[in-house]
A and B are shown apart, each in its own frame.
Chain A
């Protein structure tokens, strides 16, 4: 059974049709890269998967279960699907470690010492265990984004969503974040990444999706996508960003 199945997903903002009949199937361990011009609906699409955005038509299945079903606990759903944002969105009033342990403590009721142990291990994994007791404002952008990844991983999610995780970073910090994401991909995490980092896509993506005006225009494994795109719009887009 696929981890995520999206069938004929449609969303409107008022009269504006953002997502038009999106279909996707994501298997366990797959890495999907979604690219496209701004306003194409790619962020909206992945934010529908953990219901940060509600949609009006179609369905999203998580492990076969319709996520809009009444029986679904939305907080449980979000605990199982981690998300990393463009603007990091760390909690500025909490230390790095507390940023990470808050959800495990409050949602999963993990005992404090265990949550902190996990938190420190995650910080080690993203390479910043020495910053555990600092506040987010004391870290660089790249470090903050790695904390945000650790915060999402602390809930031991089955799927990770990345919403343009490197777009707000200075160029010299992009790689430290991408490397963490590559490690995650190689460890078998199921990932949906909205990103324009084509090097990342080439290296770890199983499929690349190109979206434009709310439609999935093209979808292919990375080598085909980059070397032999079918649609003119994809070609034009790739020419712009490569």
Chain B
């Protein structure tokens, strides 16, 4: 076994060549995941709410977006943004941004469906009661429907966010300097320790995802406190 090779390159796995060079490794993966989660949440929220609109011209863009994305592999999407961005924008997008946009657009579609289902699963009486006191549709959404629905959605969100975190490894294919890329680079250079290297990065991915799930479990508990106290 060559665990010394893993050990010697451990800081490279964690943050790449940083601070002398660009940020890479696990730090870049986490950054990609964090920005991706942030973007996908807002995009998905918008898509889900548009999907719920009574106005057909608001619904249609959201339906088209969700249906197309759900039928396309993420890898294909990453290639699209990588190879089509120069055609459309006239210049190349940096790899990191390409991967980020692909992850956001991909995960946003699934979040959109979660949002739709979550809002629809609340009792109709909640909206009626809110509207019945004179709140506008938007106010009822912001103060009554979404605070309850979003809490119910947390487990589904976490599934998506964990998937997204793992999916950041696909960014390797267009050369984004993240954890999988760091592992491949070190493996190509050292040759003799693929098992040790890939076990190590698997563990690193696991730790990140585990932290994410347990943090969300705590958050869910905190947000459900009004139910726990029920008679």
Residues of A within 8 A of B (CB): 50, 52, 75-79, 82-83, 85, 87, 89-93, 102-103, 106-107, 135, 137-140, 148, 151-152, 154-155
Contacts and interface: CB of A to CB of B under 8 A. Distances in A.
A85 B129 contact: yes
Among A87, A103, A135, the one with the most B-chain Cβ atoms within 10 Å of its Cβ is A103
Interface string B213-231: 0000000000000110111
A83 B230 contact: no
A83 B127 CA distance: 13
A93 B147 contact: yes
Contact of A75 (B135, B229, B230): B135
Given A137-B226, A138-B231, A107 B134 contact: yes
A137 B143 CA distance: 18
Interface in B182-214: none
Contact of B148 (A50, A93, A137, A151): A93
B131 interface: yes
B133 A79 contact: yes
B53 interface: no
Interface string B137-150: 00100011001100
Given A92-B226, A93-B148, A135-B229, A103 B128 contact: no
Contacts of A107: 133-135, 139
Contacts of B144: 91, 102
A92 B133 contact: no
B135 A106 contact: yes
B150 to A, nearest CB: 10
Contacts of A138: 229-231
B166 interface: no
Contact of A82 (B133, B147, B230): B133
A93 B229 CA distance: 11
Interface in B88-113: none
Contact of B128 (A76, A85, A90, A93): A85
A30 to B, nearest CB: 21
A82 B128 CA distance: 12
A85 B229 CA distance: 24
B123 interface: yes
A137 B229 contact: yes
Contact of A79 (B134, B151, B229, B230): B134
A103 B133 contact: yes
24 contacts: A52-B131, A75-B134, A79-B133, A79-B134, A82-B133, A83-B132, A85-B125, A85-B132, A89-B123, A89-B126, A91-B144, A91-B148, A93-B226, A102-B143, A102-B144, A103-B135, A106-B135, A106-B139, A106-B143, A107-B139, A137-B226, A137-B229, A138-B229, A155-B134
A68 to B, nearest CB: 16
Given A93-B147, A148-B129, 8 more contacts: A50-B132, A83-B132, A85-B128, A89-B126, A91-B126, A107-B139, A139-B231, A140-B231
B136 interface: yes
